[in-house]
Amino acid sequence: MEEKTKNFNFALLTYFIIVILFVTLRMLSAFGCFDALGDFASFGFTFLVQVVILLGGAVLLFSAFKKQPYSKTMQYYGFKKISKKVVGLVVLLGIVVFFLNTFVSATFNSFISFLGYEHSSSALPTQYNFYSLLINLIFSALLPGFCEEIVHRGMLLKSMRPLGMWKAIIFSGLLFGLLHLNIEQFFYATIIGVFLGFLTVMTSSIYPAMIVHFMNNALSVYLSFSRVNNLPFGNIYEGFFTLISSNLLLGILLCLLVLILLVYIFTFLCKKIFRSQLKSELNQAAQEVQKELIKRAYLIDIENSKKGDEEKDLEMLDPRLEMIKKLFAMNPEKTEEFRMPRLGGLFLWICIALMGALTLCTFIWGVL
């Protein structure tokens, strides 16, 4: 229990420091402190946020608090190998999540527009070459997909697990949504954060969440590239929204049909991913058990080489049966109830209150 409390307190303390640094940097950016960098201002800001603050905080700072090597911290965050089949399925899932995210964000943005919110307008560039595409993929998809996941589905989710699976998933997802400090992104980012937390728990690995996060951001970047360069992906995307906006009844019908199809594919892929990962883990566990059984059988053979065959067989069988019962027990022992530590809980609620207030400010005044 003491170790769980330390992990929780250190994770939330680290996150509190990350939030303070991130908010400070956003304030500096809002006041034009990065304008001197010109066209590289956004890239410099992103690098500082993703690599220095998020990655540095989650790995260096957390490891320093825990007084443990970085490799152990990364292992603690859930960098567990997944099969090639699972990788392929997760890539497809990332594509589906992108389109579902489009519907969710469009619905929420319509709702806040009804309440009087004026959306920020970001005009597409007149030129968008392949080099710019690669740079944007790195800074807008690769770095967030890696660094943000280490913080939220690694450090936070893992350290909050003693609270219960759903509490850990919801808290880490909510913090992920709030960290965007933008009312337009808050809702769909929270929904995605909750799903990515669930995906991480069910696969026992942080890699699927990283892949889905990367695919969602990468497709958004590629969509902008396609629209500027008049490519098929951008044209089809624009054509669909033009079609549904031209006729209200037809638009609602098409949206419902596409949404049902996407939800069906989403559910199907999730089931396939969980089953494939479980099968892979069982096969790996079976191989480890087999190796251990062979090793133990060999040692018992040597130890009991002078005993009778019948007695020796019984002594060889007993430890193997005991090991299998422990590994595949249907009723695992109940864990002791874990209450949220006061110190870590204080940092948690301060982070939620601070980022929630700033997010609300973006709805009222459009700041940050």
Considering the chain, what percentage of its residues have pLDDT values greater than 70?
87
pLDDT at 21: 96
Structure confidence by residue, pLDDT tens digits, 224-249? 999 889 888 888 888 877 777 777 78
Taking only the tens place, the pLDDT of each residue in 141-178 is 999 999 999 999 999 999 999 999 999 999 999 999 99
pLDDT: is 303 or 253 the higher one? 253
Residue whose token pair is 């997760």 = 90
What pLDDT is stored for residue 301 in this prediction?
Answer: 64
Q: Is 9's pLDDT higher than 60?
A: yes
Please report the pLDDT score of residue 285 as a whole number.
Answer: 73
Q: In this predicted structure, what is the pLDDT of residue 58? A: 95
Q: What is the DSSP string of 155-197?
A: IIHHHHGGG-HHHHHHHHHHHHHHTT--HHHHHHHHHHHHHHH
pTM of the model: 0.85
Q: What secondary structure, in 3-state letters, does 104-132 show?
A: HHHHHHHHHHHCCCCCCCCCCCCCCCHHH
pLDDT at 298: 65
Q: What percent of the chain has pLDDT over 90?
A: 54
CA neighbor of 117 nearest in space, from 189, 184, 185:
184
Query: Which pairs with CB-CB distance under 8 Å and at least 24 residues apart come from 252-255?
Result: 255/103
For residue 84, CA distances in Å to 91, 142, 207, 218, 325 come to 11, 20, 12, 20, 30
Q: What is the pLDDT of residues 308-333, one digit of tens each?
A: 555 554 444 455 445 445 544 544 44
pLDDT of 339 higher than 60: yes
Q: What is the pLDDT of residue 322?
A: 54
> For residues 61-85, b (16+ Cβ closer than 10 Å) or e, as one string?
bbbebbeeeeeebbebbbeeebeee
Identify the DSSP state of 331.
Answer: S
CA distance 356 to 44: 26
pLDDT at 197 over 80: yes
